[in-house]
């Protein structure tokens, strides 16, 4: 009888998308090394920015990593689609099973959303649906939570859909907000929870 090569490939390939420092990527790398990511393995890392530290983290771990940039002559919406299509083409060529946006700041659109429906997740540093959406990333999210007088904040891992931060929630982790918090102190407290959340979500996903 013929073996189906797909069945033989036991480990599921994970593409991790990054834009910056890559501490969430590092949490995944460390988790895979220490106790595994279930049936998953980080097969490749793609950045939408040149020379970010996340790429160095990947290289240090022996994971292939590279940057994909959209055609900068295109208008904004088309640029988004162009980058999404480039990522999709790579993901298909590399037989990627799951995509993890781990500190990835571009918004994806086009075919990748349907092709990787329920197989693509994102981590966001707030308790969605609060403080999400276009332009809400990094310090802005934490400043908005503080300005709103929130007593709690946290992070959310959710499936990626055609909206910005609107996909089905997989899990959330909550932290307290203190009266003397700055966006930086709140971000640091949430970051610790993000690292646990992303590992847990990836293990559940694969
Ligand atoms: C993380 O806090 C992540 O939740 C956030 O960017 C940071 C990246 O940190 N993502 C977003 O805001 C997405 N809208 P990292 O590069 O150290 O993982």
For 130-170, the DSSP string reads TT-STT--THHHHHHHHHTT-SEEEEEEEE--SSSS-SPEE
CA 175 / ligand 1 centre spacing (Å): 16
102 C-alpha to ligand 1 centroid (Å) = 6
Under the banding of pLDDT at 50, 70 and 90, the label for residue 10 is confident
Q: How far apart are CA 47 and CA 153, in angstroms?
A: 27
**Closest Cα partner for 205 from 96, 124, 103?**
96
pLDDT 10s digits, 57-104: 999 999 999 999 988 899 988 999 999 999 999 999 999 999 999 999
The arrangement of secondary structure in 5-129+155-173+194-205, i.e. its CATH architecture, is: 3-Layer(aba) Sandwich (3.40)
Ligand 1 atom closest to Cα of residue 122: 13
Do residues 65 and 94 touch, judged by C-beta distance below 8 A?
no
Q: Give the domain ranges of the chain.
A: 5-129+155-173+194-205
Substitution candidate for ligand 1 out of 48, 137, 190 with most atoms within 8 A of CB: 137
Model-level pTM? 0.95
Residues serving a catalytic function are 124
């Amino acid at each position: 009888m013929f073996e189906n090569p797909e069945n033989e490939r036991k480990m599921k390939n994970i593409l991790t998308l990054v834009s910056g420092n890559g501490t969430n990527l590092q949490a995944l790398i460390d988790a895979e090394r220490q106790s595994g990511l279930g049936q998953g393995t980080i097969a490749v890392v793609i950045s939408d920015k040149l020379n970010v530290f996340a790429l160095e983290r990947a290289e240090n771990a022996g994971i292939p990593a590279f940057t994909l940039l959209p055609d900068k002559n295109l208008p904004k919406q088309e640029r988004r689609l162009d980058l999404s299509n480039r990522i999709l083409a790579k993901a298909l060529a590399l037989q990627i099973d799951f995509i993890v946006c781990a500190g990835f700041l571009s918004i994806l659109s086009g075919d990748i959303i349907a092709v990787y429906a329920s197989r693509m997740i994102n981590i966001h540093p707030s308790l969605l649906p609060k403080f999400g959406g276009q332009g809400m990333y990094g310090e802005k999210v934490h400043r908005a939570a503080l300005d709103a007088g929130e007593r709690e904040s946290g992070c959310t891992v959710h499936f990626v859909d055609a909206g910005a931060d609107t996909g089905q929630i997989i899990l959330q982790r909550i932290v307290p907000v203190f009266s003397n918090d700055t966006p930086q102190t709140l971000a640091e407290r949430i970051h610790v929870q993000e690292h646990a959340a992303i590992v847990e979500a990836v293990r559940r996903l694969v």
